[in-house]
Amino acid sequence: MEVTLKRNSEGRFGVSFHAPGDGTICLDRISDAHDVDDDRKRLCVGDIVLSLNGIMLEEAQSEEALLQLIENSGANAS
């Protein structure tokens, strides 16, 4: 399973998570933001989930809705 997130300031940040199958979700990749030397590399409150397993999510997804999608995908969030 892969979850892709992107910072609200469009086009400046990206991370990828995967579920190795042991009940956890792990950070897989953080973009280098073109080697910028500022806070654009940091994951912050306000960053948004864009997709889950390639399915684009609506802007108003709640944490509960995201956890439900993860549960339905066959992986367990802990």
Write the CA distances from 66 to 9, 13, 36, 49, integer angstroms: 21, 20, 30, 9
Q: What is the pLDDT of residue 17?
A: 67
Mean pLDDT (10-residue bins), the chain, 78 residues: 56 62 68 56 57 59 65 55
Check residue 22 and give its pLDDT: 76
pLDDT at 32: 57
Distance of CA 18 to the CA centre of its chain: 9
